[in-house]
Structure 1
Amino acid sequence: MYLSAPWDDLPGYALPGGGSLLAALVLAAYVMNDKGKRGGSQPNQELNRAIERVVGGFVRGIGRYVGGRDLSGEPRSTATWWRSGALVDDDGTTLGDVAAVPPPRTAEPAAGVSVPLSKPSSPRRPPVLLVPFTAAWGVVSSMGRGLSAWARWPHAARSLVRLAPIPAVWGLWRHPEETQWALAGAGVGVLMVAISGPGGLGWWSPRTPTDDETMGPAVWAGVRQVLRLDEEERREKWLKLSPDLSAADGRIVLRLPLAWMGGKEAMNALEHIIATRIPGEWVAHWERSGASQHVQWMRKPKPVEKPRLPEYVEWKSTGNRYEVFVGQAIEGDSIVDAVIRTETATPHWGVAGDTGSGKSTVLYIPIVHARQHGELVDILDTKQNSLIEAEGASGVRIHKTVRSCVAAFGEFMVSMMAAESAQGKYADPEARAQLVPRLLVIDELPTLIKLAYTWWRHGLKGKGAPPFLDWFSMILLQGRSSRHRIVVGTQQFANTFFGGTMERAQIGTKIIVGMQDRVSWGVAFGQSTPVIQFDTKVKGRGAFSDKRQTPDGEHLYVRELQPSYITPRVAGLLAQCAPAPGWFDSGAMAPWISEEVLKEADLTTAVRSFLPGGKYGPDPLPGVTPAAARVIGGGSPSSAAVTAPGVTAGVTGGVTAVARAAAVAEEEALPDTYSLAQACDAGILPWKHGTARQYKKRSEERGIGFPEGVTDGRTAYYTEAELKDWLTRWEGREAK
């Protein structure tokens, strides 16, 4: 039995009818085309081309229609056969929704506009009776939005919709009943899809174009010009964006042509394109060498929140003689213990800060640490009350007068020299057994230098430079090997305070606390070291460096520091320490200082006259007056008192009140001194500071001697009598 094909009854299927007409048209086109190739006339050639264009356009149009593509030939979206896409503008870039652009934000609300402070309420729900109608309207509007996005549909879906009328019409013609049921079922399916979609129950949502589809064309339009690529080059060959650029691992990869000679400007242009066309902050990673030259942009990592130091840090012992815990510091993204290591080539350390910044509080830390490990501490405190919590503790001698401070300075230097000799290969073993590590704490170094120079110039009527700074230099340079260390409290780490650059370099760890100007920061850590901003309202907050370099090695590694607050515990911690040798608490010199060492030291440093019992020294050094509840032990076998030759050693009680009162009275009788600026402010000189400096320079040029004054290592100071004498001589010379 013969089975007919579906198209048997279509008009024109039989050859004598429509089929013969189609064959005739094809034959005519072939003949005309062949005739044109054999040298036909110009009109015939143009007609052939016109027929070719019409037929070709017709065939291409049918192919685009069947394939679900845009009939114009220009793609209206980035959709593919199986995937939906984003709309594309005429220039090939992604087309954004103008209506979705938010209005610009204003810094402040317009006048007269009330700004609600409460949380906005949720949208009002429609009445229950209207819910079915609103739901139906949502479904219908969702279908309308889907139809309006026709250009974004996958080509397969568009092809299916375009070709659907052909089987539908044929079915209605040949099998009307079955086709009607099929169309009804298809309509119900479409309705169910719409109800379950985003406009209804929200069970599914249409595919959202990736960032590569939406942002890639705009980026490609810019980078193609910078790389000078042809318009025919495919974007997928050179540029790739992650589907979700907001993800942490989102990236943008751009392959670079091997022949591209882009310099710094071209590289900056590419980075500018990414910065202006891709939201967020991106970091470029360039690879310009090798066979695969490329650049990829990674999302800039979120900055790690900087740790914050506590306002109070409890002090703790390290248990190591050469490691001093001073507080907590910030290193990178962590808070670590700040430990000063004194068993280094530069074992001395210091703290700088203005008056009231808390540097004296920091100086309690080395005092307690040293005593806990059996070291003996001498404190030079010309302020007389800055380290009062340590007063009366065994093993801690506090020197408050200039005479006593200078004597302690000299005794410490001679003790260092004697300890160095006692450690020699052929030294006396008994002297070596007596050695005890010592610590010299100097509070307010500039003030001590100024007062010592004033005492030398006006109290002792000395000429030239006193030897005190030379002693300081020797201790800084040689103290490490003999276990004689120094901790300095100063206002600034200026070279002149320490005798020179080489001596100041022995201060291995430098700490600053409180507010510091840029000059003081540069003096402490170097001019190229960036300034660390820290909260100066927090007591003791500062920064420190221990000669470590930053990873790039360009400058010192300076860390923010919160020193330990040990002040309330000082007296209790010192009371728990083992008693010091009796010679120390009684104010005697170190027993290992021999006569030979003393003679050698006097020849090189002129120190003998300033030691206890010397011409300019006190009778003994100040001893320790213990608290009533504390009794000083008998000391060690090496506790015999040693003084300068010709002076009998005694305990603190042996110092007569007359001798002590005479020494204090002598120092109190020293005249007040003024810097040039202070003299102008006090009215001693009748000019402003700038004018006084000019007259000082002129007087020196004209042979009118200006007083020499005294210095704290940085600033010169003069007595009122010296300045008035110069003023009289200057005005008299000017009058002539």
Structure 2
Amino acid sequence: MTDFAAPWDGVDLSGYALPGGGTLLAALALIAYAMQGKSKGGSRSNEELNAAIERVVGGFFRGIGRYVAGRDLAGEPRSTATWWRSGILVDDGGASVEDVAAIPAPRAPAVSLAKPAAGAGPGVRRAALMPLRVVASMGRALAAWSRWPRAARSLVRLAPLPVAWGLWRHPEATQLALIGAAVVVLLVALAGPGGLSWWVPRTPTDDETLGPAVWAGARQVLRLDEKTPRGKWLRIDPDLSAEGARIVLRLPLEWMGGKEAMAALQHVVDTRVPGEWVSQWERSGASQYVQWTRKPKPVEKPVLPDYVEWKSTGNRYEVFVGQAIEGDRIVDVMVHTQSATPHWGVGGDTGSGKSTVLYIPIVHGRQHGELIDILDTKQNSLIEAEGQSGVRVHKTVRSCVAAFAEFMVSMMAAEAAMGKNAAPGARAQLIPRTLVIDELPTLIKMAYTWWRYGLKGKGVPPFLDWFSIILLQGRSSDHRIVVGTQQFANSFFGGTMERSQIGTKIVVGLQDRISWGVAFGQATPVIQYDTTVKGRGAFADKRQAPDGEHLYVREFQPAFITPRVPQLLAACPPAPKWFDAGEMAPWITDDVLKEADLVAAVGAFLPGGAAGPPAPATVTPGAGTGGTPHPSSSKTVTGSQVTANVTGTAPASEAAEDAELPATYSLAEACAAGIIPWKHATARQYKKRSEERGIDFPEGVTDGRTTYYTEEELKDWVARWQASVTRT
């Protein structure tokens, strides 16, 4: 068989390429020249002709370069695709990237009420529809031509040249290669998202999706040219959800950027980037910029437990009282009694649980060898501590005042025993002591009532003066006070200076705004806590809040120790015999006793004094106080003549003395009870008018905050007032 020879076989065609190309270029130049408008004089200069030729030739070669490089042949790039990476469509300055008509309207998913055919499950339907989905995915891939990597577009554009040469020179092999390529494409499509989903297209980065929108807004605020490249000014991390992701925008040095402009940039980020972002500005260096980082997620506030087990600290001067929330963590709360504010207190309404908290200093003190005196006018609030060595419970007004007086004299004697001129061995006798006062306002009111109506005293009794002296001087002699009170009012402690010695203030239960301000200061914000949890409250310990010039108040849950109190106290070392026997402290000397009586009028109220209880007939360690009334005496009582009646069951005579004290009423209570036949507001007006007319109003007694009167006093005043009105 004779081979067919083409006419041009053996002919060198290289010489024809240049003339043909030159002719083509010349033709294009002439066409461009002809299309140019004529100059004003009807002629065209050589410079204009050369410029036109350069534009045509340059455009021709630029088009070839764009074609080979896989770029768009004209205009700006339609996507963010790079040489090896696919991209997303970008706004071309006209309509939106996505046609408005193509945006789907939200609609409810269709629900089929027909029963599916047997055997036609989801797997069968998926297999049947897979070819259609594969073809559709191939169509979508072709439609997304502008988003292809430039390398892929270049390969597709140049592919016809080698395919044509292969069909010319090696047709059979080329056909087989094309068939294989088609099979590969089909297999790739079958494994793709339209088929088996073994591979999915690359997810665009946040820089690609959000960068154009952010740059469009930022560029206007910074007054940059439209053609300014984004990459030199704006950087957005590829994954803004990653830890430490940020957005950085470089600022022009000539950009003034006042508050409004800075707010505009913040608005751009807030509205065009999902999430919340916090800005950080750098305007002072040579390189000025602003960066945004994701706003930290709010730390979940810890929740205090409903029950906190009490534990011993092993340190006499650190008392564990419970747990509190500080910032985003739960911490143990310690009361540091060796600090400049050694005394502490618990506030709250009746039944809030403050008496339960008072068991903590009792147990802690006894574990470290302290001696505890309890003033309990309620007579049963701290019953778990009774009957234990080292704990004396005082229940009647007379015995509470006597214990108060003896505690103050003990403190003064301890101060003297630690002095340089003290007798040898005096310091060795000293033992730390703690005075626990439950219901301080009630004690003050009852003591004042006893002073005025029981003892028929005149003027102001010295009880609050003793309290003030102990608060100011107790730390240096290891004599400390823990109080339970309804409110931390200054009048309960003798003044502002004395109350400030209560270093740690704890409130439990629901607190009204007035009581909160009295405890922590009017400028201290009220914190919210669950008042349904028994004992839940707040505390402050002289620390300033990190975010303001006020006390640092924290939510607090006190430790619960009540069921363990008898067991823990029984395990403590026994107290000295003199304490359990109800005697006064052995370091109290006659000289100290006389000095205390001289400066604080304390002698008459000590056990054995004119207004104090007598020495006990029998001694039962730890029992309630009592005794028979002591006959009146005006002599100064010395330490050798006195013993404290602080043990044994209260005799009927002393208990009866408290019971015989007249009931007292505030002005509002008297009006509500009908003792005063007017409303409270009217009674206050008549009280003021009676004072103006010279009609004496009863002096009454006060608990430091409210004045109380007996029924007899109020009725006498009402009668005198009505008589004066009748005469008028």
For Structure 1 versus Structure 2, the TM-score category normalised by the shorter chain is: 0.7 to 0.9
Per-residue deviation, residues 296-349 of structure 1 (Å, max 9, x unmatched): 222233333333222222222222211212222333333332221211111111
Distance apart, 1:360 and its partner CA: 0.5
Which of 436, 453, 457 is equivalent to 1:458? 453
Relative to structure 1, the CA distance from residue 653 to residue 705 in structure 2 (aligned partners, 3 Å threshold; closer, same or farther) is closer
What secondary structure, in the 3-state scheme, does the structure 2 residue paired with 1:320 have? coil
Residues 146, 457 of structure 1: CA spacing in aligned structure 2 closer, same or farther, 3 A cutoff? same
The separation in 1 between residues aligned to 2:619 and 2:374, in whole angstroms, is 12
**In structure 1, C-alpha distance between the alignment counterparts of 2:607 and 2:596, rounded to whole Å:** 15
Instruction: Quote the residue 1:558 is aligned against.
Output: 553
Alpha-carbon offset, residue 58 of structure 1: 5.8
> Could you tell me whether the CA contact under 8 Å between 1:210 and 1:244 is conserved in 2?
yes
Which one of 180, 185, 208 corresponds to residue 203 of structure 2? 208
- Give the C-alpha shift of residue 699 in structure 1: 3.8
Letter in 2 for 1:86: I
Q: What is the aligned length?
A: 701
Contact 2:28–2:56 (8 Å) recurs in 1: no
2:630: which partner in 1?
none
| Alignment-derived partner of residue 609 in structure 2 | 614
1:723 to 708, 714, 719: 714
- Counterpart residue identity of residue 237, structure 1: K
In the alignment, structure 1 residue 303 sits paired with structure 2 residue 294: no
CA distance in 2, matches of 1:351, 1:647: 37
SS of structure 2 residue aligned to 1:297: strand
| 1:86 corresponds to which of 85, 88, 98 | 88
The 1:501–1:172 alpha-carbon spacing in structure 2 relative to 1, beyond 3 Å, is same
Alignment of 1:340 with 2:342, yes or no, is no
Aligned partners of 1:102 and 1:542: how far apart in 2? 54
Percent identity, aligned pairs only, is: 71
Q: Does 1:517 align with 2:512?
A: yes
SS in 1 for 2:709: strand
TM-aligned CA deviation for residue 506 of structure 1 = 0.7
In structure 1, distance between residues paired with 2:527 and 2:134: 62
**Deviation of residue 168 (structure 1)?**
3.7
- Where structure 1 has 5 or more consecutive residues not aligned to the other structure, the ranges are 115-122, 629-641
Aligned to 2:75: 73
- Aligned residue in 2 for 1:120: none
**Aligned 1:33-52 pairs, distance under 5 A:** 41=43
Paired AA for residue 88 in structure 1: V
SS class of match (1:181): helix
Shift of residue 214 of structure 1? 0.2
SS in 1 for 2:596: helix
- AA aligned to 1:147 is L
> For residues 600 and 645 of structure 2, what CA distance do their matches in structure 1 show?
28
Shift of 1:34: 12
**Cα distance in 1, alignment partners of residues 462 and 104 from structure 2:** 80
Contact 1:327–1:338 (Cα < 8 Å) also in 2: yes
| Whole-angstrom distance in 1 between the partners of 2:618 and 2:467 | 23
Hey, what does 1:679 align to over in structure 2? 670
User: Secondary structure at the residue paired with 1:335?
Assistant: strand
Q: Would the aligned equivalents of 1:623 and 1:652 in 2 still touch at CA under 8 Å?
A: no
Q: Which has the higher mean CA deviation after the structures are superposed, 703-712 or 388-397?
A: 703-712
- Following superposition, the deviation at residue 510 of structure 1 comes to 1.3
**In structure 1, distance between residues paired with 2:669 and 2:546:** 45
Q: How does 1:349-498 map to 2 (within 5 A)?
A: 349-498=344-493
**Alignment partner, residue 292 of structure 1:** 287
Residues 46-445 of structure 1 mapped to structure 2, 5 A cutoff: 60-91=62-93, 95=97, 103=106, 125-126=121-122, 128=124, 133-169=128-164, 171-172=166-167, 176-445=171-440
The answer to whether the Cα contact below 8 Å between 1:353 and 1:514 also exists between their aligned partners in 2 is: yes
Which deviates more, 724-733 or 389-398?
724-733
> C-alpha separation between the residues in 2 aligned to 1:596 and 1:333?
56
Q: 1:321 to 1:570 in 2, by over 3 A?
A: same
Residues 133/193 of structure 1: CA separation in 2 closer, same or farther (3 Å cut): same
Question: Which has the higher mean CA deviation after the structures are superposed, 690-699 or 597-606?
Answer: 690-699
Residue 417 (structure 1) shift: 0.8
- Amino acid paired to 1:425: K
1-structure distance, mates of 2:18, 2:548: 93
The yes-or-no answer on 1:662 pairing with 2:653 is yes
Q: CA deviation at 1:274?
A: 1.9
- Match status 1:572 vs 2:567: yes
Q: Distance in 1 between matches of 2:180 and 2:526?
A: 77
- Asked whether the equivalents of residues 89 and 97 of structure 2 are also in contact (C-alpha less than 8 Å), the reply is yes
Residue range with higher mean Cα deviation, 525-534 or 713-722: 525-534
The C-alpha deviation readout for 1:651-686, integer Å capped at 9, x for no partner, is: 77899x8xx433332322222112222222222233
- The more displaced of 147-156 and 723-732 is 723-732
Whole-Å separation in 2 of the counterparts to 1:6 and 1:687? 136
Alignment gaps of 5+ in structure 2: 1-6, 112-118, 624-635
| Separation (CA, whole Å) in 2 of partners of 1:164 and 1:220 | 37
Aligned to 2:629: none
Deviations 1:345-401, CA, capped at 9 Å, x for gaps: 111111111111111011011111111222111111111110111112122111111
Partners of 1:53 and 1:315 lie apart in 2 by 91
Q: Which amino acid in structure 2 is aligned with residue 372 of structure 1? A: Q
Residue type at the aligned position of 1:669: E
Taking a change above 3 Å as real, the CA distance of residues 665 and 23 of structure 1, as seen in their structure-2 partners, is closer
Letter in 1 for 2:211: G
| TM-score for the superposition, normalised by structure 1 | 0.86
Q: What SS is found at the alignment partner of 2:681?
A: helix
Root mean square deviation of aligned Cα: 3.8
CA deviation string 1:183-227 (max 9, x = no partner): 323322222221232222333222221100100111112222222
Q: CA deviation at 1:36?
A: 7.4
What CA distance in whole angstroms lies between the structure 1 residues aligned with 2:21 and 2:643? 140
Amino acid at match of 1:400: K
| Bigger mean CA deviation after superposition, 645-654 or 428-437 | 645-654
Q: CA deviation at 1:470?
A: 0.8
CA distance 1:697–1:234, change in 2 (3 Å): farther
Change (3 A) 1:6 1:304: farther
Whole-Å separation in 2 of the counterparts to 1:710 and 1:36: 116
2:185 aligned partner, one-letter code: V
> Is the Cα–Cα contact under 8 Å of residues 616 and 644 in structure 2 kept in the other structure?
no
Deviation at 1:247, TM superposition (A): 1.5
> Secondary structure of the equivalent of 2:475?
coil
Hey, what's the Cα distance between the residues in 2 that align with 1:8 and 1:577?
119
C-alpha spacing 1:125/1:577, structure 2 compared with 1 (3 Å):
same
Cα deviation, 1:707-728, whole Å, max 9, x if unaligned, reads 3322111122222222233333
Shift of 1:97: 9.0
Is this contact kept in 2: 1:587–1:624, CA < 8 A? yes
Change (3 A) 1:245 1:491: same
Greater alpha carbon shift after TM alignment, 258-267 vs 430-439: 258-267
Letter in 2 for 1:336: V
Distance of 1:85 and 1:622 partners within structure 2: 101
Distance across 1 between alignment mates of 2:561 and 2:617: 25
Tell me if structure 1 keeps the 8 A contact 2:607–2:644: no
Displacement, 1:498? 0.8
CA distance in 1, matches of 2:556, 2:229: 57
Aligned CA distance change for structure 1 residues 94 and 246 (closer, same or farther; 3 Å): farther
SS in 2 for 1:329: strand
Question: Alpha-carbon deviation of 1:600?
Answer: 1.3
1:712 match: 703
Q: Distance in 2 between matches of 1:5 and 1:523?
A: 113
Cα pair distance change 1:33/1:215, threshold 3 Å? closer
